[in-house]
């Protein structure tokens, strides 16, 4: 017997990266931050008043909203806190896109998006990126032709690591009749010299909803805390209608607020990741792995045919090193490798060198 809705019955669920519970694993497969949460977060955890847990949490996470508004120089009303950025993606779709309407994405993109479209019974239009991962010249035209109600756009992009400029996004938004969800999961790792800041877009582009997460930049994937930044016409329906009434818990609200206040620590670990990614990229290119520049905490590298991407993934796994291989068009000959701690990165490069030598 099956009670599932027809579209749920025929769909496939999302496959997250492997989460192996072992201290011996070098885990470079799910873009987690290699450094621990900040001292401010540690202090917030120690300050939790257990007795407060018997009461419902602050329903709208006001303390966190104030902290995020302060950080981004917007009003608290422009912020919605969510149970991971996963919740924001789902809320945006269920609030703004009818079943049968179209969601547009780039190809390749974050592999969760097609699953979310399936759950809401939406059509999916995939617009291929240029061979060098740039947006194609006619992207805006293809987008408008797709009649999409929403564009899900990761920036810096996943899994390619490329950054799209704010001026491009502003132009795209002003010509698009639908809504752009700008998924900035990896934005904290963008080189500060590029002065990338999309938040000012929300003033003039009422159709841009920015997604942020504390999972990557703030080393809090285990906490499940994300947020949205946008015009109140986008925030309010999710905040006051479609969100679960108490969608974030008391403890995570305190820790997330503390995380946003840990400015110095955060800047330091982001810089370390950037520094390590330069070293990693150079090493991989020297080994013949074509590895374009990235503004995220991962690299997408093309594995030499003599080795094979899936083969290398398996050989690394045998050595307790996990990286990510996607069995999909344009990605089959590549691996996505998270930037780890220096020792982890050195271990990876050493392992690849040994494998190359043994294969040679």
User: By C-beta, is 221 or 356 nearer to its own copies?
Assistant: 221
Residues 149-178 that bind its own copies (CB under 8 A): 149, 178
**Does 144 participate in binding its own copies (rule CB under 8 A)?**
no
Stretch in the footprint of its own copies (CB under 8 A) among 84-92, 129-137, 151-159, 315-323 = 84-92
Residues 250-279 that bind its own copies (CB under 8 A): 250-252, 255
**Does 23 participate in binding its own copies (rule CB under 8 A)?**
no
Shortest spacing between CB 63 and its own copies, in angstroms:
10
Among 45, 75, 194, 290, binds its own copies (CB under 8 A): 45
**Does 22 participate in binding its own copies (rule CB under 8 A)?**
no
* Total binding residues toward its own copies, as defined by CB under 8 A: 79
**Does 35 participate in binding its own copies (rule CB under 8 A)?**
yes
Considering all CA atoms of the chain, what is the largest pairwise distance in Å, rounded to the nearest integer? Answer: 63
Shortest spacing between CB 162 and its own copies, in angstroms:
24
10 Å Cβ neighbour count for 142? 15
Shortest spacing between CB 51 and its own copies, in angstroms:
4
Residues 102-131 that bind its own copies (CB under 8 A): 112, 115, 119
Preceding omega of 297 cis (within 30 degrees of 0) = no
User: By C-beta, is 255 or 348 nearer to its own copies?
Assistant: 255
Cα gap 135→162, rounded to integer Å: 10
Among residues 196, 258, 201, the alpha carbon closest in space to that of 234 is found at: 201
Question: Residue 286 burial (CB < 10 Å; 0-12/13-18/19+)?
Answer: exposed
**Does 242 participate in binding its own copies (rule CB under 8 A)?**
yes
**Does 69 participate in binding its own copies (rule CB under 8 A)?**
no
**Does 284 participate in binding its own copies (rule CB under 8 A)?**
no
Shortest spacing between CB 226 and its own copies, in angstroms:
10
Preceding omega of 108 cis (within 30 degrees of 0) = yes
Shortest spacing between CB 71 and its own copies, in angstroms:
20
Cα gap 95→97, rounded to integer Å: 6
User: By C-beta, is 75 or 99 nearer to its own copies?
Assistant: 99
**Does 143 participate in binding its own copies (rule CB under 8 A)?**
no
Cα gap 247→60, rounded to integer Å: 8
Q: What is the DSSP letter of 205?
A: -
Cα gap 3→127, rounded to integer Å: 34
Stretch in the footprint of its own copies (CB under 8 A) among 138-146, 151-159, 212-220, 322-330 = 212-220
Among 65, 162, 212, 224, binds its own copies (CB under 8 A): 224
φ, ψ (nearest 5 deg) of residue 26? -95, 110
**Does 16 participate in binding its own copies (rule CB under 8 A)?**
yes
**Does 136 participate in binding its own copies (rule CB under 8 A)?**
no
* Phi-psi category of residue 200: left, alpha or beta, with phi > 0 → left and psi -120 to 50 → alpha: alpha
Q: What is the DSSP letter of 242?
A: I
Say which residues have a Cβ less than 8 Å from residue 101's Cβ, sequence separation at least 6: 122, 123, 148, 149
**Does 147 participate in binding its own copies (rule CB under 8 A)?**
no
Cα gap 233→207, rounded to integer Å: 9
Shortest spacing between CB 137 and its own copies, in angstroms:
27
**Does 222 participate in binding its own copies (rule CB under 8 A)?**
yes
Among residues 130, 203, 208, the alpha carbon closest in space to that of 169 is found at: 208
């Amino acid at each position: 017997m099956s009670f599932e809705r027809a579209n749920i019955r025929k769909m496939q669920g999302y496959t997250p990266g492997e989460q192996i519970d072992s201290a011996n694993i070098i885990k470079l497969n799910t873009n987690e931050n290699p450094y621990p949460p900040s001292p401010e977060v540690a202090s917030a955890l120690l300050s939790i008043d257990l007795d407060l847990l018997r009461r419902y949490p602050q329903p709208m996470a006001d303390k966190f909203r104030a902290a995020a508004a302060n950080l981004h120089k917007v009003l608290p009303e422009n912020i919605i806190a969510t149970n991971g950025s996963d919740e924001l993606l789902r809320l945006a779709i269920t609030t703004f896109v009818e079943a049968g309407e179209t969601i547009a994405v780039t190809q390749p993109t974050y592999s969760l998006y097609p699953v979310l479209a399936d759950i809401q019974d939406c059509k999916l239009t995939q617009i291929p990126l240029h061979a060098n991962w740039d947006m194609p010249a006619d992207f805006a035209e293809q987008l408008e032709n797709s009649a999409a109600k929403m564009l899900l756009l990761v920036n810096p992009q996943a899994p390619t690591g490329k950054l799209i400029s704010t001026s491009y996004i502003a132009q795209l938004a002003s010509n698009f009749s639908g809504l752009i969800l700008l998924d900035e999961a990896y934005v904290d790792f963008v080189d500060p010299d590029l002065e990338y800041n999309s938040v000012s877009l929300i003033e003039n582009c009422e159709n841009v909803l920015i997604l942020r997460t504390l999972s990557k930049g703030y080393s809090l994937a285990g906490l499940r805390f994300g947020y949205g930044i946008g015009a109140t016409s986008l925030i309010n329906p999710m905040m006051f209608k479609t969100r679960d009434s108490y969608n974030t818990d008391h403890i995570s609200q305190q820790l997330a607020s503390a995380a946003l206040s840990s400015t110095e620590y955060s800047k330091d670990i982001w810089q370390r990741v950037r520094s390590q990614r330069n070293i990693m990229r150079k090493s991989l290119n020297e080994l013949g792995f074509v590895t374009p520049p990235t503004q995220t905490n991962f690299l997408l590298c093309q594995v030499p045919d003599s080795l094979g991407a899936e083969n290398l993934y398996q050989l690394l796994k045998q050595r307790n090193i996990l990286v990510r291989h996607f069995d999909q068009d344009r990605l089959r000959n590549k691996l996505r490798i998270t930037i780890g701690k220096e020792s982890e990165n050195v271990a990876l490069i050493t392992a690849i060198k040994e494998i190359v030598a043994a294969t040679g």
